[in-house]
Structure 1
């Protein structure tokens, strides 16, 4: 995925004519709107990616920790895609095993989906806070 870029439309003039005359309005965007929101949304995306990695940490199946730690190296933080990059990560993620027993009660397959299901409200509030600069 690529970075978010916010562009603003060109300004325009709106005229309304009536029997008594005309009213004219010129609409222009603040030139800093696009760059400011581009920066704000890309920063929020990067922080959201880091928060998702942090929350996934206790869900990722673990033996030696290679899969768990691979996301820190393989993911492009800020692009909205987290990657666990070991040769066996896909087979573990999609396996039919039940969570637990892989060095922790929450660890096991579908760690991203299970983390999201358990933390959806937190993630929504976190992202809202990041975008609004609270």
Structure 2
């Protein structure tokens, strides 16, 4: 069954103070994480996951067997966008996925064709933060 949106947990380490002694004296450096980094990246990863889910469903459409179109709509109806999981809820979806004569394993075929462009699009959501 469909689950909720994926929750990303991003932790940043505590700040660190480094001290280096040399003949000329002592140098101290303090490293701190930007406090807005984790919330910003968490939001970016969430948006990227929504993009990936939507793009996979959209790009699976031409690869999916169609007699009445219910199998295609079952991916939209059964998936929570942002969950990281695509569910096709038609009762015969599993059998069609593995046993269809000409269009079996439509997700795998879509992934082989479009993986690079989907990943490139998802990266834009994370890089913009």
- TM bracket (short chain): 0.7 to 0.9
CA distance in 2, matches of 1:28, 1:131: 21
User: Runs of 4 or more off by more than 4 Å in structure 1?
Assistant: none
Match of residue 13 from structure 1: 17
Matched with 2:105 is 110
**Partners of 1:54 and 1:96 in 2: CA distance:** 20
For residues 96 and 83 of structure 1, the distance between their equivalents in structure 2, rounded to whole angstroms, comes to 18
Following superposition, the deviation at residue 37 of structure 1 comes to 0.5
| Number of residue pairs matched by the alignment | 125
What's 2:66 paired with?
62
- Equivalent positions of 1:42-57 (< 5 A) are 42-57=46-61
**Normalising to structure 2: TM-score of the pair?**
0.87
**Match of 1:125, SS?**
helix
Stretches of structure 2 lacking an aligned partner (at least 5 in a row): none
Aligned to 2:119: 124
State whether structure 2 residue 23 is matched by structure 1 residue 28. Answer: no
* CA deviation string 1:40-83 (max 9, x = no partner): 11111101211111111111112222221111121121121111
> Which deviates the most, 11-20 or 122-131?
122-131
Normalised TM-score (structure 1): 0.84
Relative contact order higher in (CA < 8 Å, ≥ 6 apart): 2
Return the alpha-carbon distance in structure 1 between the equivalents of residues 100 and 50 of structure 2. Answer: 32
Q: Please list every run of 5 or more consecutive structure 1 residues that lacks an aligned counterpart in the other structure.
A: 99-107
How far apart in 1 are the matches of 2:40 and 2:118?
23
- Point out the structure with the larger helix share: 2
Using the alignment, how far apart are the partners of 1:40 and 1:86 within structure 2? 32
Instruction: Tell which deviates more after alignment, 27-36 or 69-78.
Output: 69-78
Q: CA RMSD in A?
A: 1.8
Q: CA deviation at 1:19?
A: 2.7
